[in-house]
Amino acid sequence: MTILDVKNQIVEHFLSSEKFSKEDFAGITVSSDLNAFRDEMAISALTELEKAEIVSRIGKETWVLSKPLQYQNQIIEINIEQAARIAATLNAFYKANGLENEIGADVTSITSDDIDCLIDVIDELSDDGADTESDEEDDDSGENWKN
Protein backbone atom coordinates (compact mmCIF):
# COMPACT_ATOMS: atom_id res chain seq x y z
CA MET A 1 0.00 0.00 0.00
CA THR A 2 1.44 3.32 -1.07
CA ILE A 3 0.42 6.96 -1.25
CA LEU A 4 -0.40 6.25 -4.91
CA ASP A 5 -2.97 3.64 -3.84
CA VAL A 6 -4.53 6.08 -1.37
CA LYS A 7 -4.53 8.86 -3.96
CA ASN A 8 -6.32 6.57 -6.43
CA GLN A 9 -8.93 5.69 -3.79
CA ILE A 10 -9.54 9.38 -3.11
CA VAL A 11 -10.02 10.16 -6.81
CA GLU A 12 -12.39 7.17 -7.06
CA HIS A 13 -14.31 8.67 -4.12
CA PHE A 14 -14.86 11.82 -6.21
CA LEU A 15 -16.55 9.73 -8.91
CA SER A 16 -19.59 9.56 -6.65
CA SER A 17 -19.14 12.41 -4.19
CA GLU A 18 -18.57 16.14 -4.49
CA LYS A 19 -16.37 16.43 -1.41
CA PHE A 20 -13.86 14.50 0.65
CA SER A 21 -13.65 15.26 4.34
CA LYS A 22 -11.84 13.96 7.39
CA GLU A 23 -14.79 11.63 8.06
CA ASP A 24 -14.12 9.97 4.69
CA PHE A 25 -10.62 8.90 5.79
CA ALA A 26 -12.25 5.86 7.41
CA GLY A 27 -13.27 4.62 3.95
CA ILE A 28 -9.69 4.41 2.76
CA THR A 29 -8.41 0.86 2.72
CA VAL A 30 -4.80 0.32 3.75
CA SER A 31 -2.96 -2.79 4.85
CA SER A 32 -3.30 -3.58 8.55
CA ASP A 33 0.35 -2.75 9.25
CA LEU A 34 -0.23 0.78 7.87
CA ASN A 35 -3.65 1.39 9.45
CA ALA A 36 -2.13 3.65 12.10
CA PHE A 37 -0.78 5.86 9.28
CA ARG A 38 -3.98 5.95 7.18
CA ASP A 39 -4.85 9.56 8.03
CA GLU A 40 -1.31 10.78 7.35
CA MET A 41 -1.28 8.89 4.06
CA ALA A 42 -4.62 10.47 3.10
CA ILE A 43 -3.35 13.96 3.92
CA SER A 44 -0.19 13.35 1.87
CA ALA A 45 -2.26 12.09 -1.05
CA LEU A 46 -4.63 15.07 -0.81
CA THR A 47 -1.64 17.43 -0.69
CA GLU A 48 -0.34 15.87 -3.92
CA LEU A 49 -3.79 16.27 -5.50
CA GLU A 50 -3.83 19.91 -4.38
CA LYS A 51 -0.40 20.53 -5.95
CA ALA A 52 -1.69 18.97 -9.18
CA GLU A 53 -4.67 21.38 -8.95
CA ILE A 54 -7.14 18.48 -8.95
CA VAL A 55 -8.62 19.32 -5.55
CA SER A 56 -8.88 22.42 -3.42
CA ARG A 57 -9.11 22.58 0.35
CA ILE A 58 -12.18 24.20 1.84
CA GLY A 59 -11.69 24.91 5.50
CA LYS A 60 -9.37 22.77 7.55
CA GLU A 61 -10.64 19.26 6.83
CA THR A 62 -12.61 19.26 3.57
CA TRP A 63 -11.50 19.00 -0.06
CA VAL A 64 -13.48 19.49 -3.27
CA LEU A 65 -12.62 19.02 -6.92
CA SER A 66 -11.12 22.09 -8.56
CA LYS A 67 -13.37 21.26 -11.52
CA PRO A 68 -15.34 18.16 -12.50
CA LEU A 69 -13.15 15.17 -13.30
CA GLN A 70 -14.34 14.98 -16.90
CA TYR A 71 -12.89 18.46 -17.46
CA GLN A 72 -9.51 17.70 -15.92
CA ASN A 73 -7.47 16.61 -18.90
CA GLN A 74 -4.20 14.76 -18.96
CA ILE A 75 -1.75 14.71 -21.80
CA ILE A 76 -0.40 11.26 -22.56
CA GLU A 77 1.99 10.12 -25.22
CA ILE A 78 1.85 6.74 -26.85
CA ASN A 79 4.02 5.37 -29.59
CA ILE A 80 2.64 4.07 -32.88
CA GLU A 81 3.07 0.45 -31.75
CA GLN A 82 0.84 1.09 -28.73
CA ALA A 83 -1.64 2.99 -30.92
CA ALA A 84 -1.71 0.05 -33.33
CA ARG A 85 -2.40 -2.39 -30.51
CA ILE A 86 -5.22 -0.20 -29.17
CA ALA A 87 -6.74 0.22 -32.63
CA ALA A 88 -6.44 -3.50 -33.41
CA THR A 89 -8.09 -4.46 -30.12
CA LEU A 90 -10.96 -2.02 -30.56
CA ASN A 91 -11.49 -2.84 -34.22
CA ALA A 92 -11.56 -6.59 -33.44
CA PHE A 93 -14.17 -5.88 -30.76
CA TYR A 94 -16.23 -3.77 -33.15
CA LYS A 95 -16.05 -6.48 -35.82
CA ALA A 96 -17.04 -9.21 -33.35
CA ASN A 97 -20.08 -7.11 -32.46
CA GLY A 98 -21.05 -6.24 -36.03
CA LEU A 99 -20.10 -2.59 -35.69
CA GLU A 100 -17.11 -2.38 -38.02
CA ASN A 101 -19.10 -0.48 -40.65
CA GLU A 102 -20.29 2.08 -38.09
CA ILE A 103 -17.19 2.89 -36.06
CA GLY A 104 -13.49 2.18 -35.97
CA ALA A 105 -10.29 3.21 -34.24
CA ASP A 106 -7.72 5.07 -36.34
CA VAL A 107 -4.14 4.02 -35.59
CA THR A 108 -2.89 7.49 -36.50
CA SER A 109 -5.29 9.28 -34.18
CA ILE A 110 -6.25 7.48 -30.97
CA THR A 111 -8.80 9.64 -29.17
CA SER A 112 -10.14 9.89 -25.64
CA ASP A 113 -13.30 8.18 -26.98
CA ASP A 114 -11.11 5.27 -28.09
CA ILE A 115 -9.60 5.07 -24.60
CA ASP A 116 -13.13 5.17 -23.09
CA CYS A 117 -14.18 2.33 -25.38
CA LEU A 118 -11.08 0.32 -24.49
CA ILE A 119 -11.89 0.76 -20.80
CA ASP A 120 -15.46 -0.37 -21.47
CA VAL A 121 -14.20 -3.48 -23.29
CA ILE A 122 -11.84 -4.30 -20.43
CA ASP A 123 -14.64 -3.74 -17.90
CA GLU A 124 -16.92 -6.08 -19.85
CA LEU A 125 -14.24 -8.76 -20.17
CA SER A 126 -13.21 -8.53 -16.54
CA ASP A 127 -16.75 -8.44 -15.12
CA ASP A 128 -16.79 -10.84 -12.20
CA GLY A 129 -20.57 -10.99 -12.17
CA ALA A 130 -20.83 -8.79 -9.09
CA ASP A 131 -23.28 -5.97 -9.60
CA THR A 132 -21.81 -2.98 -7.85
CA GLU A 133 -23.40 0.42 -7.62
CA SER A 134 -20.86 1.87 -10.05
CA ASP A 135 -21.42 -1.03 -12.49
CA GLU A 136 -25.13 -0.28 -12.49
CA GLU A 137 -24.52 3.43 -13.01
CA ASP A 138 -22.01 2.78 -15.79
CA ASP A 139 -24.14 0.14 -17.50
CA ASP A 140 -25.25 2.00 -20.55
CA SER A 141 -25.59 -1.13 -22.66
CA GLY A 142 -22.36 -0.32 -24.44
CA GLU A 143 -23.40 3.13 -25.53
CA ASN A 144 -19.85 4.47 -25.13
CA TRP A 145 -18.45 2.14 -27.74
CA LYS A 146 -21.35 2.60 -30.10
CA ASN A 147 -20.84 6.36 -30.37
- Can you give the pLDDT of all 147 residues of the chain as single tens digits? 688 999 999 999 999 999 999 999 999 999 888 889 999 999 999 999 999 999 999 999 999 999 988 888 888 899 999 999 999 999 999 999 898 888 899 999 999 899 999 999 898 888 764 444 444 444 444 445 444
Q: CATH classification of 3-71, choosing from 1.10.20, 1.10.10, 1.10.3470, 1.20.120?
A: 1.10.10
User: What is the structure's pLDDT at 128?
Assistant: 61
Strands 19-21 and 55-58: unpaired
- Eight-state DSSP code of residue 20: E
User: What is the structure's pLDDT at 100?
Assistant: 80
Distance CA 18, CA 33 (A): 30
What amino acid occupies position 86?
I
Distance CA 57, CA 1 (A): 24
User: What is the structure's pLDDT at 102?
Assistant: 81
Q: Where in the chain is the domain with CATH 1.10.10?
A: 3-71
pTM attached to this predicted model:
0.64
When computed from its CA atoms, the radius of gyration of the chain, rounded to whole angstroms, is 19
Alpha helical stretches, state H, 1-147: 3-13, 38-51, 80-96, 112-125, 133-138, 143-146
